[in-house]
Structure 1
Amino acid sequence: MSAQQTPEQTPESDKEEGIQETFLTHLFELRDRLIKSVAALLVVFLGLVYWAPDIFHLFSKPLLDALPNGGRMIVTDVTGSFFVPMKVTMLVAFLGALPVIMYQLWAFIAPGLYKHERQLILPIVTSSYILFIAGMAFAYFLVFPTVFQFMAHYNAPLGADMATDIDKYLSFAMTTFLAFGLTFEVPVVVVVLVKLGMVRINKLKEIRPYIIVGAFVIAAVVTPPDVLSQLLLAIPLCLLYELGILVARFYEPKLESQE
């Protein structure tokens, strides 16, 4: 009798075993992808760690150039002079290893995507990386010197010496890099929303006044409390929104009746 029940039970057990094997296969693949990503990060970091003081000096150059004669940065934490340059070096290593990390992520999710989705994701990931780096470069080469020069001249009449702790400078720089890096992703977000049919270009034009107001609100929240730095974030945000609209024209799905 058990021999008669076996054929009826085998398909269910085979199905459960197949699901379990598939799950374990994906889990093992994810583990391997994570190990490769971490290994790439460590390789780049170890290759740069010897130059950690030089990297931090380059990282802090916008502030050092804005300080008056005799001005310098300070360390208020016992271990700050060691760990802060290490953190900066790790950030640079992450940016350097990011293409490998993104490739590992792409290789993991690509088999589960349709062909048209794979064709869309690769340009999105590539452009997102380039735009994020561009946002950080914009902050480093334009925003930092402008803001620091303004603050240095503002402190002079007060008779206050501008001596910034390196840990606080790192926190400020990381926040600013993140804010401008994400700001430069606006064209990608606009194009994706239009491509997926979630919003039409005409609608994006209609909400333009709200976007402008929102840009200044975001700039007031994430930047230092001075008008100059807020303008340096809000204006590019508005311009990048317009750029996204222009690029999205080439990706907007066609409708049967479209003016």
Structure 2
Amino acid sequence: MSDPQQTQDEGTEETFISHLVELRDRIIRAGLAVVVVFVGLVYWAPDIFRLLARPLMQNLPKDGKMIVTDVTGSFFVPMKVTMLVAFVIALPIVLYQIWAFVAPGLYQHEKKLVGPLVGSSYTLFLCGMAFAYFVVFPTIFRVMAHYNAPLGAEMTTDIDNYLSFVLTMFIAFGVTFEVPIVVVLLVRMNVVTLKKLKEIRPYVIVGAFVISAVVTPPDVFSQLILAIPLIVLYEAGIIAARLIVGKQPVVIEDASPSE
């Protein structure tokens, strides 16, 4: 007669292995989606990089230019940019694979929340990147060019350094535009109350300027460009939390997560 404890342990081990196999399959599918988009875009890699560099090129002085200090930089930097663009385009598929993996362990009301949450997060992140590209980059590069002129210094930059700067700004503003989602989630999960969010508003304002001072170039205009949207988005998160969460009753479910 088989030992019940041994049978239970074997079942647990099989379940764990099946989860690992499914996770591997989901990661492969997500990776393939990114690779397929990348292959479709790779022919236009130089054009994609020129599009990314346009805000800088339009604000360089007459003799300003971008340079390559690495032997392979002119090849690999456009490839990196194209891969990042492919990842952004394929991100909905990547998020769907993550959703498909975790969905069986969620309650029904949690499933209803995840869909709008993921969609709005993706949209806000793209809005943050667009804000950085169309508003922040031209302003920062124009200010930097203005500072260089009195020094008589020639404004040039390596394309790899430019890519690093652009990625930092994209991530900073993409994450900044996620603030309303974070605020709504904190209130929805009862981690913090609306009253508390209003009470800590002065600390959030100070924190916004500290973060902007760390992330952006050391000039007032660049810091204001990040700090002001961060504060506005925090207020938007409070309003959204009041409208969305404040009207929803707390859902209590005794049933186990759906299979």
Task: Give the Cα–Cα distance (whole angstroms) in 2 for the partners of residues 87 and 118 of structure 1.
Answer: 35
Per-residue CA distance 1:108-132 (angstroms, 9 max, x = gap) = 0000011111111221111111111
Task: Give the Cα–Cα distance (whole angstroms) in 2 for the partners of residues 235 and 254 of structure 1.
Answer: 33
Query: Offset of 1:153 from its aligned partner?
Result: 1.7
The corresponding residue for 1:214 is 207
Max radius of gyration: which structure? 1
The corresponding residue for 2:216 is 223
Matched, 1:13 2:10: no
TM-score, scaled relative to structure 2? 0.93
Selected match of 1:93 from 58, 61, 86: 86
Q: Aligned partner of 2:52: which letter?
A: F
Q: Aligned partner of 2:117: which letter?
A: I
Task: Give the Cα–Cα distance (whole angstroms) in 2 for the partners of residues 16 and 168 of structure 1.
Answer: 53
The corresponding residue for 1:74 is 67
Query: Offset of 1:254 from its aligned partner?
Result: 5.9
Q: Aligned partner of 2:74: which letter?
A: S
The corresponding residue for 1:241 is 234
Q: Aligned partner of 1:192: which letter?
A: L
Query: Offset of 1:198 from its aligned partner?
Result: 1.1
- Give secondary structure in 1 for the equivalent of 2:103: helix
Matched, 1:114 2:116: no
Task: Give the Cα–Cα distance (whole angstroms) in 2 for the partners of residues 70 and 158 of structure 1.
Answer: 15
Task: Give the Cα–Cα distance (whole angstroms) in 2 for the partners of residues 219 and 122 of structure 1.
Answer: 31
Superposition RMSD on alpha carbons, in Å? 1.2
The corresponding residue for 1:30 is 23
Task: Give the Cα–Cα distance (whole angstroms) in 1 for the partners of residues 167 and 219 of structure 2.
Answer: 18
Query: Offset of 1:247 from its aligned partner?
Result: 0.4
Q: Aligned partner of 1:197: which letter?
A: N
Per-residue CA distance 1:231-254 (angstroms, 9 max, x = gap) = 000000000000000000021366
Task: Give the Cα–Cα distance (whole angstroms) in 1 for the partners of residues 89 and 129 of structure 2.
Answer: 14
Q: Which has the higher contact order (CA 8 A, sep 6+)?
A: 2
Task: Give the Cα–Cα distance (whole angstroms) in 2 for the partners of residues 68 and 216 of structure 1.
Answer: 30
Selected match of 1:186 from 179, 183, 187: 179
Selected match of 1:163 from 141, 156, 159: 156
Query: Offset of 1:70 from its aligned partner?
Result: 2.8
Per-residue CA distance 1:107-161 (angstroms, 9 max, x = gap) = 0000001111111122111111111111010000000001101111221111111
Query: Offset of 1:226 from its aligned partner?
Result: 1.0
The corresponding residue for 2:44 is 51
Matched, 1:148 2:141: yes
Between the aligned residues of both structures, percent identity stands at 66
| Structure 2 unaligned regions, length at least 5 | 251-259
Q: Which deviates more from structure 2 when the two are superposed, residues 153-162 or residues 55-64?
A: 153-162
Task: Give the Cα–Cα distance (whole angstroms) in 2 for the partners of residues 186 and 19 of structure 1.
Answer: 39
The count of aligned residue pairs is 248
The corresponding residue for 1:3 is none
Q: Aligned partner of 1:148: which letter?
A: F
Q: Aligned partner of 2:181: which letter?
A: V
Matched, 1:102 2:95: yes
